[in-house]
Structure 1
Amino acid sequence: MWILSVIATTASAVITWWWNTVDGATIDRTDQAGWDGAELLPAQNLIWVAVNTQFFVLLATSILTTVLVVRYLRSQSRERAFVH
């Protein structure tokens, strides 16, 4: 499960980076052309919030699962040390 969390976070980071790059380029081009960007993408801010929020949620989940896996492995190694 931990590896799935890391894979999902990595994929999310790539998608978020790609989205922010494309979004920034689109906004710059509309500004240079003299258009109102809000007319092209009226919900652009909500899309930006959704894309970045899903990345941070997955990042927090990945960090939490990493901490839990490390704690579990440490507790298992301590239990084995006391048994032997």
Structure 2
Amino acid sequence: MPWVDAAISIATHKANVWIDLSGWSPKYFPTQLVEQANSLLRHKVLFGSDFPLLAPERWLHDFGQLDIKDDVRPLILKRNATTLLGLAAQ
């Protein structure tokens, strides 16, 4: 998707901008999104399933097939959201 590069750029530059992964299956994530989620933006990427159009089970299955680092998976699936929403201990 052409907007992915813009989203990565903005999220990198702006402290209050996060990337939500809802709306598409992880199997279609562009390489640059996976690379940035594994590195610079690991604390700024959020899980999203786009239910009911994309069931969480399917999303999680497809996400499991991605080359996401083991220490980054829990960040994307939960910890980043709890931090963003102020639910995590600082």
Tell me if TM exceeds 0.5: no
Normalising by structure 1, report the TM-score. Answer: 0.23
Larger strand percent: 2
Higher relative contact order (CA 8 A, sep 6+): 1
Normalising by structure 2, report the TM-score. Answer: 0.22
